Amino acid sequence: MFEFIKKTNPVKRLRKRIKARRFNSRLKELELFTEVIPDGVIIINQNLVMEAVNESVQTLLGLPDNAVGKAIDDCVKSNALNGYLRSKSQTEPLEFTSPIQKDSTLELRVFSVDNGSKVLILRDITAQNRLLTMRQSFVANVSHELRTPLTVVKGYLETMSDDSNPEDLRIELISKLNAPVSRMESLVQDLLLLTQLESNPIPPEMDEIDMARLLEDASNEVRGLLKKKDSLEINRESEVKIKGVSKELSSVCINLISNAIRYSPDGARIQVSWSQTPEGKARLAVRDEGFGIAKEHLDRITERFYRVDMKDARTRGGTGLGLAIVKHVLRRHNSELQVESKLNKGSLFFCEFDIA
């Protein structure tokens, strides 16, 4: 009697080994991919036990090193997250406060895979939400800034269109339209300039700029903002020149000087200087004797329409975009605006450039 022994085909065995190697290779590639992406990745089974985590999610949720093999609700103290994972509907992403950083917001998306397992993708959307809030505030601020002069113009036009009003009054109102119309024109021009600066981070071909001369021209342009007791001093301590775009740098000078005048009390002394630093840089500085800026406002003063609400501040016009324009122009010239300020003692705005 013969005994037949079933033997596995060697070709089939080889194919299985090749498939296993390919699978392991792809698995290693997937693990490497999940480690380098900034999003957090967690794989959980149907019992919410974590089967795999990447380094990013450990940072986002503060998971311990031995988190794999444990239930997610044992490691993450977040009622919003754990309740969402146990809910039946997970089609919409979840936004919740970070369990380790209360000022951060996380977004969770869930994807179902085989055998009841799920892949969780987490990302920090704090900056994204902040930008959305800034955009919404920007639209609201533009609407507010335009609504005020438009209301004035509309009121004047209604009065002028009323035949029952004296002709002398109607003619007199024509000249009063100049101020609100000029304000709207300035606002639109600043918005267009700011948009242009933001959309083109690299400036056109630069020329050699005589900043000392540019400062003189800028100071003459803003002298109309000064009151009788105010003083504006231009100190040309150096004749060094820099590479730049004349029109843009002129805007920097005008905005910095006019800002110092507007936010200083009557009789203020505004000092503007152009000098050379010991490190071999050219320095533009504007010092005022204003009300000063509190520390909590310093990081935000270059935001569009951001104004520090100071008692007795002398606001003489302005669109609220001046320092935002300054920031973007300086960025295009490899510089940045720096501010030193003390409440009730004034402020110093300065920036430095490479010498041509």
Question: Nearest-CA neighbor of 184 among 151, 155, 149?
Answer: 149
Q: Which residues of 290-309 are buried (b: 16+ CB within 10 A; e: fewer)?
A: bbbbeeebeeebbbbbbbbe
- Phi, psi dihedral angles at 77 (to 5 degrees): -95, 80
Q: Which residues of 330-341 are buried (b: 16+ CB within 10 A; e: fewer)?
A: bebbebebebeb
- Phi, psi dihedral angles at 247 (to 5 degrees): -60, -40
Per-residue model confidence as pLDDT tens for the chain (356 residues): 434 444 455 555 556 665 556 645 554 555 555 555 678 888 888 888 988 888 888 888 888 888 889 899 888 888 888 888 888 888 889 999 988 888 889 999 998 877 778 888 899 998 888 878 777 777 777 777 778 788 888 888 888 888 888 888 888 888 888 888 887 888 888 888 888 887 776 767 788 989 989 999 988 888 888 878 888 888 988 888 999 989 899 999 999 998 888 888 887 888 999 999 999 899 999 998 878 888 878 888 888 777 765 444 444 456 778 888 899 999 989 999 999 988 878 899 999 999 88
Locate the domains of the chain by residue range: 39-124, 130-176, 192-354
pLDDT at 311: 46
pLDDT at 242: 92
pLDDT at 310: 47
pLDDT at 41: 87
Cα distances (angstroms) measured from residue 155 to each of 149, 160, 177: 10, 9, 10
DSSP secondary structure of 49-89 = BEEEE-HHHHHHHT--TT-TTSBHHHH---HHHHHHHHSS-
pLDDT at 283: 94
The H-or-E segment that residue 95 falls in is strand 94-97
pLDDT at 26: 55
pLDDT at 198: 77
For helices 126-161 and 167-176, the axis angle rounded to 10 degrees is 150
Q: What is the CATH number of domain 192-354?
A: 3.30.565.10
Quick check: do 39-124 and 192-354 share a fold?
A: no
The residues facing 283 across adjacent strands are 275, 352
Express each pLDDT in 272-297 by its tens digit: 999 999 998 999 999 988 788 888 78
pLDDT at 256: 92
Cα distances (angstroms) measured from residue 54 to each of 13, 120, 269: 34, 11, 59
pLDDT at 33: 53
DSSP-derived 3-state class of residue 324: helix
What is the C-alpha separation between 95 and 84, in angstroms, rounded?
10
pLDDT at 250: 92
Looking at the chain, the number of H-run helices and the number of E-run strands are 11, 12
pLDDT at 20: 56
Instruction: Name the superfamily (CATH) of residues 39-124.
Output: PAS domain (3.30.450.20)
What is the C-alpha separation between 67 and 65, in angstroms, rounded?
6
